[in-house]
Amino acid sequence: MEIRPTEAGDRPALSRFFERIPESDRTFLKEDVGDPRVIEDWVKPGAGRTVAIEDGEVVGSQAVLDAVEMGLKKLVVEVIADQAPLIAMFRGLGFEPEALLTDHVRDRSGQTRDLIVLANSVDEQFATLTTAGIADQLQ
């Protein structure tokens, strides 16, 4: 697997990656990843997007080490409150709840949903990875 910043040539693979995400999950992405202009923005030089590539296909992305290089101090994710497995995954990665926003998101069917904001200190996360000897292996 190769992990690297996005490139213009990643456009088709990135589009296929988003097409594989169920519509019910894509509803909650901040950007309309079905819009070719969004994909175009993601592959522009300096866009700050990193992808994981395997066999020529986009299979994921990473953020923590990019955040360190970009000088960010905090990573924030917004998750629909009833997505317990996703919240548990982020909690396992060191994210902590900071806010519950009631009826904050309207899904494509028009239903309003609660949103949980979780945050992770970049410096603390990187220090943990460094202590465990993992940070050097990921850079």
Domains of the chain (ranges; CATH) run: 1-62 (no CATH), 63-139 (3.40.630.30)
The pLDDT tens digits of the residues spanning 15-50 come to 998 888 877 677 667 778 888 898 898 888 877 788
Mean pLDDT for the chain overall: 82
User: With the CA atoms of 58, 63, 69 and 72 taken in that order, what torsion angle do they form, in degrees rounded to the nearest 10?
Assistant: 150
Question: Which strand (E) or helix (H) includes residue 115?
Answer: strand 112-121
Q: SS3 of 102, please? A: strand
Residue 73: both structure tokens together: 């101090």
Residue 135: both structure tokens together: 């940070």
Q: SS3 of 13, please? A: helix
The answer to whether the beta carbons of residues 14 and 6 sit under 8 Å apart is: yes
Amino acid 34: pLDDT:
83
